[in-house]
Structure 1
């Protein structure tokens, strides 16, 4: 087997020594090419190269969710084809590692590597769904390139939080859960449209849902993790179905406290609920419009401001070794 290992040297939870151990373990089982990423988008370029190389059987991402997202977008640059594209695997190296944990891997990279090697020996894999987001035709975002996401996207409040976190990290702050919680509070206090939202959900042959304050699109559950605690924004979301969505129509102090508490105490059986919560399951095609530009994120990567995003849930898009 010929494999490409894409290594993010800035991965927050792996040292150079740990990466060397992981590389040695993988190289003992396959013909391994190791490439260290050098710039933003490099992992995507490497995934694209692997997709176009018929001799590569497997691409492994060693890094966090951002590295995973880039590699997946490179692999699927010509569209999903799980029977003919290289298989994909991940060794968690980031601060949260939602995708790796959602497919059943432990959050510890050495242990995850052992499971990956066992899966390869036993020819164990699964084909997962993915989400695709694109600029909406007929809007100012029409020319925005489409992009795949593996576990979530956000339009509005949560994307604003991620943007704030990224700004803090650029200033040298460590990516910690405390940092995220501080930015949640700051985003809430600065949110100008908490009482009446500006987002409209449109679905084919359905009435629009208007005045949404924020929206979270999930491709799997959990939505994220706080330490070892899974957080379920859309508990029914699954790698075997389309996309799920949780939206809020109000974000006052009382409703924010209520829904934050529900998120923190959520379970695989029960997520946020109430008259200001809009939950939808197994969506295939829908569009979110905003009356003003809002922050947008995919897989925890802040992508700037958008006024309209069209989403597609694509079943059986990627084969993952796990």
Structure 2
């Protein structure tokens, strides 16, 4: 078996020594080429070359959700073809590792490597669905390149939080759950659209859903984690279906407290709910429009401001080792 290991040297929860151990463990079971990323987008470029080469069986991403997202976009550069493309394996090395954990992998890199090797020996894999976001024809964002996401995208409030966290990380702050909570509070008080939302959701054959403040698109459940606590925005979201949407039409201080509490106490059976909450399940095609440019994020990566994003849920897009 030929495999490419894409290593993010800045992965927050793995040391150089740990990465060396993992490389040796994988190399003992396969013909392994290990490459360390050197710039933003490098993981995508490496995965694209692997997808276009002959005889590459597996691409392993060692890093956080951002590294995984780049690898997935490289593998699917020419579109989904699960039987022809190399399979994907994920060794979690980030602070949250939502995609790996949603697949049922251990959150520890060494344990996850053992689980992957065991799955390879038993030929255990699954084909997962993914989300695709692209520019909307006829809008100022129509030229935005299509991009795949593995577990979530956000348009509005939560993307603003992600953007604030990225700014703090660029200033040398460590990405922690406390940092996210502080930036969420600052985003709340600084958001001019929190009382009357600027977002409209449109889907074929249905009336539009207007005046949304927050919109979270989920491809998996949980939506995220706070430490070891899973948080479910859309409990029915699954790698086996299309996309789910959780949205809010109001974000006053009492509403924020209520829905934040519901998020923290959410379960696989029950997510946040109420008269200002909108929950939609298994959507294949829809668009989110905004009256004003709003922050946009995918898999925890802030992508700037958009006024419109079109989403497609693609079932059976990629084979993953589990």
TM interval, shorter chain, is over 0.9
Deviations 1:62-119 (A, max 9, x none): 0000000000000000000110100000000000000000001010000000000000
Question: Counterparts of 2:133 and 2:54 in 1: how far apart (Å)?
Answer: 28
Find the counterpart in structure 2 of residue 80 from structure 1.
80
Secondary structure of the structure 2 residue equivalent to 1:89: strand
Deviations 1:285-315 (A, max 9, x none): 0000000000000000000000000000000
Deviation at 1:195, TM superposition (A): 1.2
Secondary structure of the structure 1 residue equivalent to 2:169: helix
The 5 A counterparts of 1:172-187 are: 172-187=172-187
Question: Counterparts of 1:54 and 1:123 in 2: how far apart (Å)?
Answer: 21
Find the counterpart in structure 2 of residue 112 from structure 1.
112
Find the counterpart in structure 2 of residue 92 from structure 1.
92
Find the counterpart in structure 1 of residue 18 from structure 2.
18
Deviation at 1:279, TM superposition (A): 0.2
Within the alignment, does 1:318 sit opposite 2:315 as a pair?
Answer: no
Find the counterpart in structure 1 of residue 122 from structure 2.
122
Deviations 1:120-145 (A, max 9, x none): 00000000000000000000000000
Deviations 1:180-233 (A, max 9, x none): 000000000101111110000000011101000010000000000000000000
Q: Gapped runs of 5+ residues in structure 2?
A: none
Question: Counterparts of 2:143 and 2:164 in 1: how far apart (Å)?
Answer: 26
Deviation at 1:30, TM superposition (A): 0.1
Question: Counterparts of 2:147 and 2:194 in 1: how far apart (Å)?
Answer: 29
TM-score by length of 1: 1.00
Deviation at 1:57, TM superposition (A): 0.3
Find the counterpart in structure 1 of residue 151 from structure 2.
151
Within the alignment, does 1:223 sit opposite 2:227 as a pair?
Answer: no
Question: Counterparts of 1:306 and 1:164 in 2: how far apart (Å)?
Answer: 16
Secondary structure of the structure 2 residue equivalent to 1:310: strand
Find the counterpart in structure 2 of residue 140 from structure 1.
140
Question: Counterparts of 1:210 and 1:284 in 2: how far apart (Å)?
Answer: 19
Q: Considering only aligned residues, what root-mean-square deviation do their CA atoms show, in Å?
A: 0.3
Within the alignment, does 1:48 sit opposite 2:63 as a pair?
Answer: no
Secondary structure of the structure 2 residue equivalent to 1:4: strand
Deviations 1:268-293 (A, max 9, x none): 00000000000000000000000000
Question: Counterparts of 2:195 and 2:124 in 1: how far apart (Å)?
Answer: 49
Within the alignment, does 1:160 sit opposite 2:155 as a pair?
Answer: no
Find the counterpart in structure 2 of residue 260 from structure 1.
260
Find the counterpart in structure 1 of residue 301 from structure 2.
301
Question: Counterparts of 2:237 and 2:154 in 1: how far apart (Å)?
Answer: 15
